[in-house]
Amino acid sequence: MQFDFDSMTGLERFEFLTGTIVPRPIALITTIDAHGRLNAAPYSFFNIVGHDPAVVAVGVLPHSEGRLKDTGLNILDTQEFVVNLVSEELAEAMNTTCIDAPPGFDELSLTDLKTAPSTHVRPARILSAPAAFECRVHSSISLGPNQAIVIGRILTAHIDDRFVADFEKRSIDTPAMKLIGGMHGAKWYTRTSDQFGMDRPTWAARQKKGTPA
């Protein structure tokens, strides 16, 4: 079967894309509005898109009320945001923060999550997040009314000491973070505890073995 995107409704495209492009890392994004009020919401149209400069991209969809979501508005207004990663431990609180609360409401107040001041940006970070990235807007792309891709340059990152495998080498114990990912539908998630490894091939090694190309 083939899906022709031009003949699909927006909802059908949303369901197809979120049902196939999985798992998606989840950014629990903290921002402040123009009055300094904290906001938090999860975003899984999210990923790193470069390391030099270190940049992340976030897709902010239109709010059902026909406005930009608070996270998008706050980021564009203040140029700052924090990406807090989500562990199994934080899953329920993350889900709570996706509530469609009115602008200016601090969704973290519905959870037991504590914040800590950021060092380079004004929005606070979530203390119990395994890792948090303080970001400043690098650029943004409008995708139509009330919809944007925000690209943030990472200024600094915080990681819980428990997840640093080697402080000198700055290496991370990724499995220990127990991060979760977004899956299909509005309610399905995945753990990241089922891993397998593969060495990447190189052309030079292949030539040495005499394997025909």
Q: Which range binds ligand FMN by CB under 6 A, 7-15, 58-66, 154-162, 190-198?
A: 58-66
Which residue type occupies 92?
E
Does 151 interact with ligand FMN (rule: CB under 6 A)? no
Shortest CB 210 distance to ligand FMN, Å:
48
Nearer Cβ to ligand FMN, position 16 or 164?
16
Helix-, strand-, coil-residue percentages of the chain, each rounded to 5: 25, 35, 40
Residues 115-144 that bind ligand FMN (CB under 6 A): none
Q: Which is nearer to ligand FMN, 37 or 164 (CB)?
A: 37
15's enclosing H/E stretch is helix 10-20
- The verdict on 42 binding ligand FMN (CB under 6 A) reads yes
Q: Tell me the torsion sign for CA atoms 21, 27, 33, 39.
A: positive
Shortest reach from residue 187's CB to ligand FMN, in Å: 8
Minimal distance in Å, beta carbon 183 to ligand FMN? 9
Interface with ligand FMN, residue 181, by CB under 6 A: no
For residues 29 and 182, what is the distance between their CA atoms, to the nearest angstrom?
15
Give the residue, chosen from 25, 32, 38, 39, that forms a contact with ligand FMN under the rule CB under 6 A: 39
- Calpha distance 95→117 (Å, rounded): 23
**x/- string (CB under 6 A) for ligand FMN, residues 59-78?**
xxx-------xxx-------
DSSP state letter for 8: S
Question: Which of 97/118 has CB closer to ligand FMN?
Answer: 97
CA torsion 174-180-184-22 (nearest 10°) is: -10
Question: Which residues between 80 and 119 bind ligand FMN (CB under 6 A)?
Answer: 95, 98, 100
- Cβ count near 43 (within 10 Å): 23
Q: Provide, rounded to whole angstroms, the least separation between the CB of residue 202 and ligand FMN.
A: 36
SS3 159: strand
User: Considering only residues 25, 32, 38, 44, which one is a binding residue for ligand FMN as defined by CB under 6 A?
Assistant: 44
Length of the chain: 213
CA atoms of 50 and 41, how far apart (whole Å): 23
Query: Contact residues for ligand FMN (CB under 6 A)?
Result: 26, 39, 41-45, 59-61, 69-71, 95, 98, 100, 182
